[in-house]
Structure formats: C-alpha cells, structure tokens
Chain A
Amino acid sequence: MTTTVEFQVNGKPVSVAPLDEETPLLDVLRNELGLMGTRFGCGLEQCGCCMVLIDGAPEKCCAKPVWSVAGKQVTTVEGMGNAEAPHPLQQAFLDEQAGQCGYCLSGILISAKALLDANPKPTRAEIAAALDGNICRCGTHVRILRAVDKAAAVMRGERA
C-alpha cells in the first residue's frame, strides 16, 4: 500500500510517496525530493536545524508527519533565494560572514525570515527571542544577530 501526499514546496506542487503517512516531512524533503538544505540535527524538535515555513509559519519538520502538510505551502532555505538572487537575509549573512560550520544556518535563516515577514523592525532582543528555538554550537550568535538586523534595514530600504 503506497501513500501519496500532495503539497507545495517552494511554490511548486509535489506529490510524494513516502514510506507511510507518519514519515517526517524532513525525511521527505531530503530523501525523496533531494532538498538537502533543511538539515537534520536531533529529530526531537529541539535544535531548529530542520526549520521550514509551513503556510508562512516557522515549524520544525523533523518530527512532523508528512500527512499534516497535505495541501499546504512549504518553504525551505532553497526557496528563499540562491546565489544569483539571494534573499536579503542570505546576502546579509554573507556580508557579515555570519557562519562558522554553517550547519545551523538553514534553520536560522528560515526563523529569521518568519520574524522579518511579521516584524520588519525588530529589536536585538526580539531577533534573539525569535532565534531561541535554533541552536548554534559554534557560537556565531553575535554575527547572526547583526546579519538579521542588517537584512531588516535593507528590506526596509534604509540600507543598501
């Protein structure tokens, strides 16, 4: 018996046939759709490496059954931008060299995007609070906070 689930990923409709309906969305993204940008860190909804947007809301997808996103819009880091057309957040992370190993960055970029979509002018404390569901073990926090602040200013048209 195969299950198929249909939803949208980065604006494109997909139809997937996972092991079963309980298969985590993360496994489907990585192993079935080949979207490796969303990373596995814990599988326990604790670290934020697997953060995606589901209908615009940031959610950890390592323990989220794929059935629960049927008919929904999923956005991954690959959907934010690319080298030719980077999202202002991605550009700001490069400008500020906000990364060490970089393993945490996909999830952090997604959490930051959700924040800026809702709050275009967050304070440092608001940015930090929005990222508290993401762990960065390398200690890149200060740069990441600076990069999000910069991207917000760019998106408001206050900085180039």
Chain B
Amino acid sequence: MNAPLPAFLESNPRLDRWIAFPAPGQVTVLTGRVELGQGVLTAMAQIAADELDVDLARITVRSGDTDVTPNEGYTSGSHSIQAGGIAMRQACADIRALYLAQAAVVLGCNADALSVRDGGILRDGASTGLDYWSLSGAVDLAVKATGAGRPKAVADFTRIGESHARLDLPGKVFGAPVFIHDMRLDGMVHARVVRQPNRGATIGAIDEAAIRRAAKGPVEFVRQGNFLAIIGGDETAVERAGGAAPAHVQWNDVETPVAAQQEASWLLQRPAVDRTLGDPEPADAQGRERFEATFTRGYLAHASISPSCGLALFKDGHLTVWTHCQGVYPLRAALAKILPVTAENMTVVHVPGSGCYGHNGADDASADAAIIAMQKPGVPVRVRWRREEEFVFEPKSASMVVTVRALLDTDGKPVDWTQEIWSGTHMNRPGGGGNLLGALALPNPPPEPPPADVPEANGGGATRNGVPLYAIPATRMIHHLIPDTPIRTSSLRGLGAVPNVFAIESCLDDLAARAGQDPVAYRLSITSDPRARATIEKVAAMANWQADAPGGTGRGRGIGFARYKNRAAYSAVVVELDVDEDIRLARIWCATDAGLVINPDGAINQLEGGIVQAASWVLKEQVRFDSDAASGLSSFDWDTYPVLKFSEVPEIDVELINTKDDVPLGVGEASSGPTAAAIGNAVSHALGLRIHDLPLTRERIMAALLQD
C-alpha cells in the first residue's frame, strides 16, 4: 500500500505535468509555483535534481503556464516548499522508479540492483550505458503518479540542504530583460487605464482634446462601458496621457474614503459578520485576575517597487495573457468569467515582476490588458500602471483592531485567553472575476463577492495566529469580519498574523512585568512545545539576552515569537533599539526552525526580507486618507508613503535550527510577526510605557510620553 499522494500531486497526477526529458542531457522541471523574488524556482530545481539524481546544470525550470505546468493554485502563504515541494519530490521519485523498472527489463535484472548517477543508470555501481534519455522512448510519463517511488531519506540528499546560488540572479545583476515590464512584442501598443474611482461610478464627460494635448503624440481611446483606456505605439505619449487623464475625465457617483475612516478604530462601529472559534467562555471567572489590552494597525500598501504590468494578445480566437500574478490558473478562471473567451481558449503565462508580497495590482493589470486586447484583435497590448495608480488602486492589507482579554492564575500566568478581532477581509483574489478592477467598469459587472475571509483550513485571514502557541488551558477567537471597508483589502505577507502576534507578544511582555519576571523566562515558563522552546532559547543566546537590563533608559531590547499559522516555521526575533523622538534600530537577531530547508541561504534571505519589511511597517507605514484628495488617499507615492531606507536598516543575524528534520515548514512569512512584536516590546522597554497602535510614529511616541 502506497502512502497517500501529496495534495498537489493528487490534483495534478500526470507525471508529464511535472518533469520532461526534452533532449539528451536535458531535464525540464514544470512547476505551478512562480518566482516572486523568493527563490522558489531554484529550490524546485534542487529538489528535482536530488530526487532524480541529475546535475542541477541540466535543469531548466518552466513555471506558471496554463498550457504546460501543473495547477497549484496560488503561490502564497509560505506554502511552496511545504506543499509544492513535497508534490515535486514524490513526482520525481515516481519517475525515477519508472525508469529504473524499465532499465531492469532491458537489462534483465532486479531494479534493486540499479541506481542513478547524473541521469545515467548504474548496475551495482557500474555504468550500464542506459540513461533517462535513452530510455525515454520506452517510458511513458503520461501516466498517473502512484506514490510507488520512495523519496530519498534526508541523509541521502546531496543538493537539498545546500545553499545553491539563485538561478535567476545573474540576469538581474547584469540588467537583462528578465521582467514582464521588459517584454516587447511585435506591433505592441502601450496602454494606460483611466481608472474607475469605485464600483458603480460612471463616466460623465471626457475631454479627449485636453488629454491628446498632454500626450504630445498620437494616442487612441478604447472604451467599453466605464472602462476607459488610452493606447498608442509610443509609451512616452501614452504615459503622459495616462497621467493627465484623471483631471480631464469627469465621473458620476464617486465615493472616496474620508479621513474619519483612516484609523482601525473606525471598524468598531461597523456592521460585521461575527463568529467565535475555540473553547467556550469560562463558566467561572470569579476571583481570577483579569488583563485586557487593545491594539490597532492601519491599512498597509504592498508598495511593490514596480507598478503592476500585464500583456495580452487576442488572436485567432485565442487569448494569451502574460502576468506576474501569484496564480495563473485562478486568473484564467476569473478572466473566463468576465470576457467572451473560454478557459480552453486562453493561455495565462507567468513572467516575473518585482516582489509582490501578496495580492497587489498584478491580476488587475493583466485583466486590463486582456480587456483591451479583446477590443484590438491581433494587437499585443501592454498595460503598465502608473506609480500613483498602484498606490491608490492596489488592494491594501486590512486595518485591524485586536483586543486581548486574559484570566491569570496566582503566578500571573494566563489560564484563559480571548483574542477579539475586527478586520476587513484578507482575501479578495480574482475568484469569480468580481475582484478584477477592470471588470467592475465593464457593462454588466460581475456581482460583488459575498463577504468571506481566508478559511481556517488555509490558516485563516484576520484570525491568522490569533491563538497563542503558548500552553494556555483555554483559548478562543471572536472574529468580526467587516464586509464594507472604504478601500479594497486583500492578502499582504502574513495577513492577520502580524497584528495578532504583535498583540499577543505585547501582552506577554506586560504580563511578564506584572509577574515580576523576565520576558524570555516568562515565555519559556508557559511554552511546552520543545521546538518553540529551542527557537526562543536560541535567539536569546544569539542576542546575549540580559534578564536584568534596566528599562526606561531610551535604549531597549525586546523579543517576539510565533509559529507562523501555528503550523509553519517557528521564528523568534530580538531587537535592540534606541528611542528619543524617533526610533533607531540598532541590531536584530532571528532564530528560525523551518524544519527541512531546501536552500538555507535562500531561506535566510527570505527571513531577512521579512524582518526589514516588518520593521518598515511598524515604524513608518500607514495608508492615509484625506477627504480633500481626489482619490481620497493622501498616500500615493514614495514621499507620501515612505518605507525603510538603507541608513535605517541595522545589522541582522539570522540562524536556522533543526534544518535536517524531514518535514519542511514554510518560512517566507515567519519572521514578520515576531519582528513587529520585538520592536514593540523593545520600544516599550526603552520608554517604560507601551504604545498600542501601529505604526510607532514620532507623534505617537511624543503623545505617549506626554501622557505618562
């Protein structure tokens, strides 16, 4: 009896959807995972190289192409290695077994006597003259995976676990045209969209002449319902027109956010879909000491370094779309709902863009290109959003309010924990097309999707990491999903985990202080998971944690810990910083247990990135609303939405532990929550008081100091 197949192999069982041997000496790895700057394609190549026993140099990776690669949904949630990697391992093991079985037939021997070295078949260690390529005619990979091949044991890995250099980095260092933004197709037109301000807004008047004057070059208008775009062969003219157009197009029924909606506390008075998860409320809380605190975080932008881009060509009844989104199959399904083309007549291909960190404008930009391409058969269309367009129209990370209520035992340890969460959704991916911006402007726009958040089975959205991993006898979450938010919200790295971990870990430090204990010792005293303990102990050792460091001196140090989604990687972070009016990060340490790590340096790179990005969120970032701004947002460029600069980034030490475990745990989002929490705790230690609202701006520090 074979073990059950990994989920993605079960849903994409044909082995030729995973691996091909296209020409002598060559191996093609096909993966539904897409490169978002996280190095996943290199990791997939390492996995295939190890399980097939071929040299990495023989491998070419094709990724995210609805014509050839498996459907693995979205590349998100730090899921790629944990789920996609396991599927790839099993597929390769099955393929290796099929080839060995065929070689055994040819050689008239037992397959047990055979092994593979760099694609060549060995018998009792000696070359047989057979290899994957010479046997390819006789082995049919258009068959279903069976799970009959046994993936290697960790001890037998030779490439998995090595810090292999990223395959995609040379092109990026030498300025090669590797990004979707660099694609140029014959006869291609450039396009900019004049964005509908909101669902339901209709075009009143268009001053085409003024827009043409601004373009100072030939441009053409494409319109379908309230979808309006400007196209032309010269990008300079099209960009000028696109930049000028909003001032020359008048819209009716415009609703823009107002300043009063900016802060997360606005959510508290809104209609909500409520639910409670976890243990029942305690029957008898009498006599228990209570602790309660409330934390907020504003809306965040993904703020990808490059505005979104998409290309499309409708030719001979077939639509091809190039996109840097996270899921080519889901995008194809959504486009089939909004365009007069079926999924069978559509190809969606991933081409790398800049880092996205979640659901940014990528899907929308490709939908824009597709809508225009349908109007211009035979003409390749390239849409590139403008900087302001990206900031204003990308889906934001939802603002959140988190209230913690705990009951304490006589030692000051929590025995009952309630995490009450107010948030918009963290899930607004294209789905049925109702979330593709361009589609909302078309005649008969798709209906608004019903309010929903990421299901708990996928780690939850606002509820992600809402349950502390600590040993607390009873826990529950009360989740208020606010369906109607002033701006569109969707997934950003970590989703609700960052506000939740910030809240939990802030409370733990305050509880430790009440109990007169050191924050590290207090955490360890309520931690039963041995891997969690090891991670916390490791980071404390790395940072040379001093239990008796005095507080309120302006210099602070803080710790934060979480296991991402309570089932991916364990990560603990210590931050040292100085506070006067501003916060200056001095040093950051991070210990992470991600189990089996395919590419340690790649994992460390991801963890470092998560740390820096979280530091930027916590210290600087909030999307600001302004009733007077045309879009309602006063965050629309890098000056009005600043992020962390080079001179603000401290030295960061990251160490991985337990890397030879046999199960990989997703790592890409693991360090963000702990970093946010560690910064909060370090600021609290430095000031001797806590700030509950993110970001930790100068205004908030000054206000807290004045109140004290």
Contacts and interface: CB of A to CB of B under 8 A. Distances in A.
A125 B239 contact: no
Contact of B605 (A18, A19, A100, A129): A100
Contact of A46 (B172, B173, B639): B639
A143 B605 contact: yes
A142 B173 contact: no
Nearest to B218: A19
Given A36-B182, A44-B387, A137-B355, A100 B305 contact: no
B649 to A, nearest CB: 4
A24 B236 contact: yes
B387 A90 contact: no
Contact of B305 (A31, A93, A97, A104): A104
Contact of A94 (B37, B173, B386): B173
B176 interface: yes
Nearest to A79: B175
B38 A141 contact: no
B291 interface: no
Given A36-B177, A138-B355, A145-B646, A47 B37 contact: no
**What does DSSP make chain B's interface, helix, strand, loop or mixed?**
loop
Main secondary structure of the interface of A (DSSP, over half): loop
Given A37-B176, A42-B387, A145-B646, A138 B236 contact: no
Interface in B577-616: 601-602, 605-606, 608-613, 616
Interface string B639-652: 10001111101011
Nearest to B35: A101
Given A137-B305, A138-B609, A102 B387 contact: no
B605 A78 contact: no
Contacts of A90: 173-174
Contact of B608 (A18, A82, A105, A142): A142
B173 A99 contact: yes
A142 B305 contact: no
A160 interface: no
Interface residues of B, number: 64
Contacts of B612: 139-142
A81 interface: yes
A97 B605 contact: yes
Contacts of B38: 100
A141 B217 contact: no
B655 interface: no
B304 interface: yes
B479 interface: no
Nearest to A89: B173
Contacts of A143: 605, 608
B170 interface: yes
A139 B611 contact: yes
A125 B647 contact: yes
A86 B235 CA distance: 31
B393 to A, nearest CB: 15
A89 to B, nearest CB: 9
Contacts of B517: none
Contact of A101 (B182, B355, B601, B610): B355
Contact of A78 (B170, B175, B386, B387): B175
B306 A103 contact: yes
B68 to A, nearest CB: 24
A55 B179 CA distance: 28
Contacts of A59: none
Interface string B341-375: 00000000000111101000000000000000000
A72 B611 CA distance: 41
B169 A101 contact: no
Given A43-B239, A83-B174, A142-B608, 15 more contacts: A19-B237, A35-B175, A44-B637, A97-B602, A100-B39, A101-B354, A125-B647, A138-B305, A139-B610, A139-B613, A140-B605, A141-B644, A142-B612, A143-B605, A145-B646
15 contacts: A36-B181, A39-B181, A40-B181, A78-B174, A94-B173, A100-B605, A101-B355, A127-B646, A129-B647, A135-B643, A138-B37, A140-B612, A141-B644, A142-B649, A144-B646
Interface of B: 36-39, 163, 165-166, 168-179, 181-182, 184, 216-217, 234-237, 239, 303-307, 352-355, 357, 384, 386-387, 601-602, 605-606, 608-613, 616, 637-639, 643-647, 649, 651-652
